[in-house]
Amino acid sequence: MARKYMDVSELFREIQEEIRNSHEYLAMEVGQDNSNMSTRLTVVATFGLLLALVTSALGMNVLVEKLVSGKEHSYASDWGLILIVLFIFLLMMGWVIAQAKPLTKMFDCLVSQFEIKIKSKK
């Protein structure tokens, strides 16, 4: 009887609807954050792969040249070269990670321009 006169059931429905709306909003925010992070990870992985290929090719060419030539050489210089190439690679990867957000925005702009051109051709 008290529920009927105090109109508790209507208040309960309003609060339940607010909770449902809040939950949907938070789920949407989490989804956007996950999408942004996966896009940044893709950018970092793409640049990382390119940097890894370039630095490994540079490092291998110098080492292979020394080994193929048959000349006596110091392995200490090889380790020095490996450390230098590794340092350059890590420095470049640090820059890419620091610049992941602006690079992601740049890729988004390029993709949107590409999509506009494709749509206009149809």
Where in the sequence is the domain holding 41, given as residue range(s)?
Answer: 2-121
Q: pLDDT by residue (tens digit) across 66-91?
A: 666 666 656 556 677 778 878 887 88
Number of domains the chain is built from:
1
Contact of 115 with 51, CB cutoff 8 Å: no
Reference 116, options 12, 108, 5; nearest CA is 108
DSSP class of residue 99 equals: T
Contact of 82 with 45, CB cutoff 8 Å: no
* pTM, 2 dp: 0.52
Residue 7's SS3 state is coil
Which residues of the chain fall short of a pLDDT of 70? 1-6, 58-78, 115, 118-119, 121-122
